[in-house]
Structure 1
């Protein structure tokens, strides 16, 4: 059996595996990516890309390229409930940060805007960067099994060439399972899962159709279609239409009636139903593909054992509500990449890698619960609108009651409005996307006199982002200007000072010399470079005074930021002795890095 030796073996070339390879190359780490498929995703699949994910792409130098091939948030402005695409509209809501009451909150909190970036468009970009910077990629290779050499700690994996049937051994320092919802790596690793079965069945139809005449004043990402004028087939109790390319390419997800687990209709029957859902017989459609999927409620209780890690859909599986899927996959990879990079370079002990599961598993669990909770709210709405009512006349009667001047009609309208408002956690769940709090050995919160800040209610925590420099929180964003900036120079985010593969210290004018000396001591003792930037009247001006409000430290203090732009530690700078501060920073960095 032929043998390949490499640093990292990544199984799966989807958003998790492709982004992990891309991010690892930032640390000079290379390896092999294998996929049992023959190409990148052929269908759009995951698409909505959040602020937090664009921040990761920004750090990798890919934001502008990815944004140039995405659909801007202006063209995914609304979330509608209607009879058909061309028919009666029951409600519309703002989506993706377009709500005038929320837009400023999004802009204040991130240097990046969200956009619609289909998986089929993003994957080639990520894989191009990974392979141009040292990773090898093999399509049509199936992961079979692995074992760990107890003496060397190396991972011995067996993969199979699907085309020839021949087996190949790969010996690597790390094995990363990014092989999706049917992960063989997770199965071989025997990860414990929390799995609630029986979530439902759906059919996706991806098609081309010019709907620009409908979208002039209704540009939206999501359109929920009831089609109450005709009996609905078993495979489509309700349809969710989403835009792929404005306004010519679309996917309709048809959620099946309860108890239905397969499609028995012919392709022609399905195409006719798509035309019925559009509601305009003059529209010509061209079907590109049809695929089925099932709604899942599943997450792993842990993500790793030894030097074998699982990430992405391999460890968290849920319905597409809230648009959390590929975003969480990419952020898993972003968290893991810097840790493998630091261990490979000898800057950190292998114990640092334990923090990956400690930090990301609670996030995956929360994402699965949030997406399925949103699904429950949708189910309440579907029941109110008679979606599952088999009698067409009764179904129309239920919908018509929403417009009647009766007590029953008023109650139905109030209930409908309340559920639509409850779904704001899906349309503008900024807190769901951004409020991760990491608690692990890679975060030093021992010096904090108080527990981490939090919202008073879970609803607030879902809707709004809580900015803080408390250790374990995402670095707050603030726009800055260099001290000698010209009017033509662009603004710089605090995020642009951090990341880029290194720890960073942000301080004020009074702390620059003290913390620069401490960082130099760290570099001498631990061989880890920490750039130090003063904000205020030093290196950068806090032109909107946002950093002074968000930093949580005095001008002599310091915020230590990890390579993934999460806060590792902060100091108010009360101790003015440079040697004691340097000793303290060395102590903290040593524990974070397992040194």
Structure 2
């Protein structure tokens, strides 16, 4: 083994095989980039940890050709949304919320926003899908292999690693390295990248267990049940959670501990006690799989890269699980980064394109950390409204509940306050705008010269579909051969796409010229009557925000890179200028740094 591993080389080394690292490996392998992915553990996550998989993350799986497998193994949206607030699963209900966009109002907006649905996929199911895809598409996946240190120079990165089974140490030479090694990232520490915020603000206990709770849940299906009980609970409040892993037989019970008292030593008996406390019926058979602890963090990186080393995922944004933004944001970090790495590695773009990963993703990391921690702050008002004592016991809880029922004006005020506080917690789950309104402002976006309009509604709550450069390309159903196709499916796959209308013929020649000049394929799809795709619902015409002779340039990550409202002027020159800006190239350069290199022709499907 020593001789064969004395010198190992690859284009990209990925440190960590969690959602961010495995997504990066799957994407780069799909794009034909040689990669090695290290996982210091012997396998993927063995606990369900992260679970909410939002539309934007499912879109990445769709682009990879993995959406069908993901959804087949997921709990679907219609079984996720009935969130019950109660004293225990078997105890008295205090109220309910329709979460994860299952309320008819939000469901309509959810369905209009994307061809892909939100779903619940535990991390121990999600990770193998990505890791298997990466390995089957050519990535070298090395388990039980730990990064010890690394050095970088102008030409690449040398990583010193150890095989944890044999103890053998060796070096891996790569052109770029991705640090996807989680909240205790060695890569971040060695780089010395700046972090803002605090770790360990609160302590929580996860109990993974099996129990048949069908009789408590099947009639009110949700992926989380919330319980107001005496004790520390989550975030110092007496809130316990039962999180569904598999309907309705596998669960994670969540309870809190006081971080100031130190990390508790827990065994399976403690786990069974916590599970029965949350269920509210200790006659239910429970089989505990594992008991672990985690802390609430409020930390984000103000820089996520240095030279040829780039960090993604929990390494650069560390926050509580509220809103389900963790693994989703991590996957999207890699989606933003990998097409840029492809073009830089192939000499089609300058290193400046990689720098836009910092410009585009640092603000997103900051936003999701602040949103998740703000959401935790929505729980204490529930206790304030109930007027629970600081250290309640079983008797005080009953007194509070009796007072809540009293037919008096004072009790009426308390009921109104409690109901208002409970309803406000919808922002712990429904933040559609945070998920889909990511607005990139960087040199990898070529503006169209128009001012940014005021948002019509709260951009954290509601998705605002627009083709403005820097925004997520809207999902619009078009048809071909009588079959519905999403505009999302016309784009992606590691390539640029130009969407044009009925009078957009000049853009085909413009795309051909740009492809020849830069060596970067720009495929063209026309949409409208008699075009490649029919605008059967008239939605593209009304939502594209461009004229029939205009064009929308969509980046490989489905973000709008540039648009021309109409075809006036010189379409070829306009498209080439936009593409040169995005690729970080001078006006007279192509992807190889020389004028006039030949390239693949325009793709029209």
Q: TM-score range by the shorter chain?
A: over 0.9
Listed one character per residue, the Cα deviations across residues 265-317 of structure 1 (whole Å, up to 9, x for unaligned) are 55324312321321223311111111110000000001111111000000000
TM-score by length of 1: 0.94
Partner of 1:547: 540
Partner of 2:584: 594
Partner of 2:187: 185
Listed one character per residue, the Cα deviations across residues 405-437 of structure 1 (whole Å, up to 9, x for unaligned) are 223321221111222222222222111111100
SS at match of 1:64: helix
**Which of 451, 476, 479 is matched with 2:477 structurally?**
479
Partner of 1:500: 493
Cα distance in 2, alignment partners of residues 389 and 402 from structure 1: 19
For the 8 Å contact 1:238–1:256, the answer to whether it is kept is no
Cα distance in 2, alignment partners of residues 387 and 81 from structure 1: 19
Partner of 1:158: 160
Cα distance in 1, alignment partners of residues 316 and 309 from structure 2: 13
How much does 1:258 deviate?
6.7
How much does 1:551 deviate?
0.7
Partner of 1:521: 513
For the 8 Å contact 1:79–1:94, the answer to whether it is kept is yes
Listed one character per residue, the Cα deviations across residues 316-351 of structure 1 (whole Å, up to 9, x for unaligned) are 000000010100010111111110011122221121
**Which of 446, 450, 459 is matched with 1:461 structurally?**
459
Partner of 1:531: 523
How much does 1:18 deviate?
0.3
Cα distance in 2, alignment partners of residues 589 and 118 from structure 1: 39
Cα distance in 2, alignment partners of residues 452 and 148 from structure 1: 43
How much does 1:502 deviate?
0.7
Partner of 1:169: 171
Map 1:179-578 onto structure 2 (within 5 A): 179-227=181-229, 237-257=238-258, 259-264=260-265, 266-385=267-386, 386=388, 388-445=390-447, 447-455=448-456, 460-482=458-480, 485-486=481-482, 489=483, 491-511=484-504, 513-537=505-529, 538-575=531-568
Partner of 1:130: 134
Map 1:7-156 onto structure 2 (within 5 A): 7-150=11-154, 153-156=155-158
Q: 1:235 to 1:195 in 2, by over 3 A?
A: closer
How much does 1:128 deviate?
0.8
SS at match of 1:462: coil
Q: 1:452 to 1:345 in 2, by over 3 A?
A: farther
TM-score by length of 2: 0.92
For the 8 Å contact 2:232–2:257, the answer to whether it is kept is no
Which deviates more from structure 2 when the two are superposed, residues 518-527 or residues 192-201? 192-201
Q: 1:231 to 1:163 in 2, by over 3 A?
A: closer
Cα distance in 2, alignment partners of residues 12 and 161 from structure 1: 14
Q: Which ranges in structure 2 are unaligned for 5 or more consecutive residues?
A: 586-605
For the 8 Å contact 1:234–1:260, the answer to whether it is kept is no
For the 8 Å contact 1:12–1:36, the answer to whether it is kept is yes
Cα distance in 1, alignment partners of residues 273 and 191 from structure 2: 45
Partner of 2:600: none
Cα distance in 2, alignment partners of residues 275 and 227 from structure 1: 13
For the 8 Å contact 2:229–2:397, the answer to whether it is kept is no
Which deviates more from structure 2 when the two are superposed, residues 126-135 or residues 274-283? 274-283
Q: 1:158 to 1:266 in 2, by over 3 A?
A: closer
Q: 1:232 to 1:352 in 2, by over 3 A?
A: closer
How much does 1:493 deviate?
0.3
How much does 1:384 deviate?
3.5
SS at match of 1:480: strand
- Please, what is the CA RMSD of the aligned residues? 1.9
